[in-house]
Structures are given as C-alpha cells and as structure tokens.
Amino acid sequence: MTTNTTEPVVLDGVAKSYGPVRAVAGIDLAVAAGGVVALLGPNGAGKSTTIAMLLGLTEPDSGRAALFGGPPERAVRAGRVGAMPQDGRLIGGVSVRELVAFARGAYARAGRDVPPLDELLETARLTGVAGRRADRLSGGQAQRVRFALAVAGNPDLLVLDEPSAGLDAEARRDLWAAVRGCAARGATVLFSTHYLAEADEFADRIVVVDRGRVVADGTSTAIKARVPARTVSLDLGDTPPAALDALPGVVGGEVRGGRAELHTTDSDATVRALADAGLLRGLEVRGASLEEAFLTLTADGGAR
Amino acid sequence: MILAYTRLEVTRLLRDGGYLAMCLVSPLMMYLVFTNLDIAGGDGRDAAVYAMVGMAGFGAVGAVMNGGVAIAEDKPLGWIAQLRLLPIRPVEVVVGRTVCAVVASAPPIAAVCLAGGLVDGVGLSPARWVAVVLLLWLGVTPLAVLSTGLGYTLPPRLAQLAGMAFYLGLSMLGGLWFPIAKFPGWLADVARATPVNRYGDLAWAVADGGAPAASTVAVLAGWAALFTVFATYACRRAVRRG
C-alpha cells in the first residue's frame, strides 16, 4: 500500500469488533485527491463503522486511519473535512438558518473560505425552510440540513454515510447535483450506499465491502463485470453441475432441489451457451439481488 | 468558538419551556410561599434573607443540573457526534456547555432576588446586593462542572434521575430549604460538608454582614477540584468511545 502522506484518506488494516460481532475485519483503503469513491455493500457490511473510524469518531481495535497524512481529528479540526453521519436527528431550539450559520461560522473561524450563508442554504434547497425549527422538519428536509452542515466549510474531503437514505427521487437528484458540484470544485468525495446503481452512476471508483472486508475494488465497469447482475436458473436433469461453472459469464452458482442457479455477469452469453449445449430446461432469468451478488464476490475468495 | 457555541446552546435553552417552568417558576413560587408562611421561623426579615438566598441557590442548582440532562438528551440525537465532525475542539464543547449551565442559572437568581427586594423588603446595601448575587451566580460553577460530567456519563433517563436527586437531595441536605441549624447535630455536620451548603454559605455570610469563611471557600474548592477531575475523565471517556 502506498504511503503518500497527502492522500485524503488512508485506512491501514483497520478492524473493529463490538463484543463478539466483528464489524470490520481489517480494511485497507487509500483514496487519492479529487475522486468520487463509493463504499458499496449490503446493510451490516461494516460501511458505517469504517466511516466512523475514518472520521475519528470510533477508535479502531487495530490498524490506523489517517486523513491528509495525519490523525483524523487534526484534519477535522482544521476544517478540511465535512461529514454526514448515517443517523442523527437535529437538535431543537434553533432554526435551520441558525444551525447552518453556526457550522459555517465554525469552519470560517478555522480559516476556511466558506460560501455565503444564503448560497449554502440554496445549494441544499433549504431556503424555503430556513426559518423553521430544525427539529420540526420532515425526514428529507432534515437530511438536507445535515448535508448543508457537511458542506458548510467547503471541505477538501466530503464523507457521506448513506446520503440518499430516506430521500424521494427529486431530493435525491438535488443531493447528487450538489455532491457533483463539490467534486467539480476539487473536493474528494467518499460515500457509502447499498445501491449498485447509485455507486455506478456517481462514483469513479467502487469499493465493495461485505462482512467487514473489501471484496472488490475498481472502476464501475470493472466491478460490474464481476458483480453478477442476473441469475439464470434451469432444471439440472442429469447434467453434472460442474459442467455449468465454465459457461461464459458465470461467476458462481448453487444447486437447489434439482435446479441449478447460475449467477452471471452476462446472462445473454450464458443463455446462448446453454442453448448451444442443449441444456435449456425450465429456463428462468431474473435480476440478482445485491445480496446474492455480494455472496458471489465473497465466495470467490475476495480477490481484488 | 467557545462564545459562538455557548450562544447557540443558551439560545436553545432559553427557548425550552420546560427549563423556564422548572428552574424559574418553581423556586420563585416556593420562595414566596415559604416567606409568607414563615416556615423558616425567627425574625421575619432575617428569615426572608435566608430564604431568598436559599431559594435563589435552589433555582441556580436546578438550572445547572438541567444542563447535564440536556447534554445527555443530545447524545442519542447524534448532536455530540455531529459537533465532533465540526472544527471545534472537544474541550471547547465541554467548557461551552458548562458556561451555558452557569448562564442558565442567572434568571432564577435574578427572579428570586427581585422578589426578595421588592415583595419582602429585603434590605441590603448596594455593595452587598451585588456581592450576594455574584456569589450565588458564580459560586454555582463547581456544580455546573459536576452536571456536565454526569451529562456525558449517563444515558438520558439516568441523567434525569441523577439531576433530580442532586437538585432536590443536595438542596434539602444543604439547607437551601430549611436552615441546617434545625437539623440534628450529626446531620448538620454532614450538611456543612456538602458543596451545596458551602455554596449557599458564601452568600448567606455576605448577606449577614460578614464575609465567606476561609474554610467555606476551601471546602468548595475541594469539591470543585474533585468535580473537575470527574468531568474531565467522563468527557475524555465519552470522546474516546464515540
């Protein structure tokens, strides 16, 4: 692993257990400046714990997290980091405008070149609710406030934990437009998601995490070539299951009650080859769930 | 940054109706009831001075204890974690919260002292009025530090119970409600060692025309040192654990 000290994010074998539960089993990750990186994985994969360690909110049991070549706390205190943790409700007694102004002021005092308050509220689509009490907002509005707090200091590194959770389609579009704006200004963005489509659309690089480990890491195209998007199932008859593993596109599979389920990255090629071999019996092709896809990646031995 | 943060927390507190009801209205009403029923006994005017300091202190202790409960209630909201993601040092947050609790104790002190002067005709020289009010206000700082430590240590419901126990228990034991002279001898000795009684004694001594005894200041300083160690440990632990 590289030790370039100016890299925004370096995780060096970080691991964390909560009692008997191993949340993160040892993750190495280096993020270069200026990219958009997605941490993709099912719920419970360890994404939030990884992000908490990266931000210095949780101390790793072993390994080390560094932001911009130093301890995470130092980068946070210098105002270089903006973050949106996964859960968190807003406090009472203050208006949206007061709360965002407070965060903006904190970054300004740390020496950051902060955007004007009205521009910030506009970017997060909060102008209409700026006078409302922060604890009396809908889930989507509160999520936008939390986003505004994260970008209030024009951060060099923006970390978003499941940012689109609970947002409707329009709010999602606005959020990603704002994230792209940050990336266009040169910020490095790291976000977590459990939607392959979201990672595919917004990230330059996808790091797939499952059961606390990195199981794949690459460009969207490279990941999609390895993540089986479809499952092809058919009656096995007397065909030896091993014969099916070599079919084009197939990256894994199992046999259930006389039927073979093949996880494939290219269902067209797989079906064509099955037809050529005369094996089409009770064929069914369906979209694979992300959980199935992750299982396949993990079963491969976690190659990178 | 401490100033901006303290201002934010004070704003939140002043908009909280529960705070006003509990910390402002109840000591004020109790003061008026106590003095007019003459529970404290003795010469009416002395009793009014005693009760004024006692109830102002009671309100102040309530306000600072409420500060700890507010911290505990902010934890499940994720606000304490959110603050750690902003460029604010944890020590600024801890000090800001403690200052906020001390600021919050000003309204009950002012209300009860105004009632004492205007309704019950408590007469003190201007210099003694200033000294009594300032000692009541700034003397509550050690208890604010304790409350901050409790707020960081305990989950909301336990913090509420602990806050209530300290608020009512220490106030009664410390003689803010009834003079400890009426306690049995052994209990009076215990009471005199409590931080709340020594806190009240700062202002009682001045209201009586004297000055706080060195022993009073020493006992209070001892408690302040102990509470500071506790709060520092509690906050560090909370920060490390996340």
State pLDDT tens for residues A175-200.
999 999 999 999 999 999 988 888 88
CATH 3.30.70 domain position(s) in chain A: 229-287
Residue B238, min C-alpha distance to chain A (Å): 10
pLDDT at A2: 44
pLDDT at A1: 45
- In the numeric block, the tokens 């969207």 are attached to A220
Q: Out of A58, A112, A149, whose CB is closest to B242?
A: A58
User: What is the per-residue DSSP string for B26-59?
Assistant: HHHHHHHHHHHHT-S-SSHHHHHHHHHHHHHHHH
pLDDT at B122: 83
DSSP label at B212? -
Residue numbers in B near A58 (CB within 8 A): 242
DSSP label at A204? S
The beta-strand segments (E) located in chain A are 9-18, 21-31, 36-40, 62-67, 81-84, 157-161, 188-193, 205-210, 213-219, 230-235, 250-256, 259-264, 284-287
**CATH fold of the domain at A9-224:** Rossmann fold (3.40.50)
CATH of domain A229-287: 3.30.70
The answer to whether residue B15 neighbours chain A at the CB level (below 8 Å) is yes
Residue B79, min C-alpha distance to chain A (Å): 7
What is the number of helices (H) and of strands (E) in chain A?
A: 11, 13
pLDDT tens digits, one per residue of B153-191: 999 999 999 999 999 999 999 999 888 888 898 999 999
Residue numbers in B near A106 (CB within 8 A): 1, 4-5, 86-88
CA torsion sign for A126, A129, A130, A132 is negative
CA torsion sign for A173, A205, A216, A18 is negative
Region of poorest pLDDT, from A296-300, B120-124, B151-155, B172-176: A296-300
pLDDT at A301: 42
Kindly identify which residue of chain B lies nearest to residue A94, measuring between CA atoms: B12
pLDDT at B127: 92
pLDDT tens digits, one per residue of B33-85: 888 776 555 556 678 888 899 999 999 999 999 999 999 999 888 888 889 99
Residue A223 pLDDT level (bands cut at 50, 70, 90): confident
Please count the residues of chain B.
242
Q: Which of the residues B10, B85, B237 would you substitute to probe the A interface, choosing the one with the greatest number of A C-beta atoms within 10 Å?
A: B85
- Would you call B87 and A153 a contact, using CB atoms and an 8 Å cutoff? yes
Q: Which of the residues B86, B93, B97, B236 would you substitute to probe the A interface, choosing the one with the greatest number of A C-beta atoms within 10 Å?
A: B86
Return mean pLDDT, chain B.
89
What number is the ipTM of this complex?
0.85
- What is the phi-psi region of residue B181: left when phi exceeds 0, alpha when psi lies from -120 to 50, beta otherwise? alpha
- Would you call B86 and A89 a contact, using CB atoms and an 8 Å cutoff? no
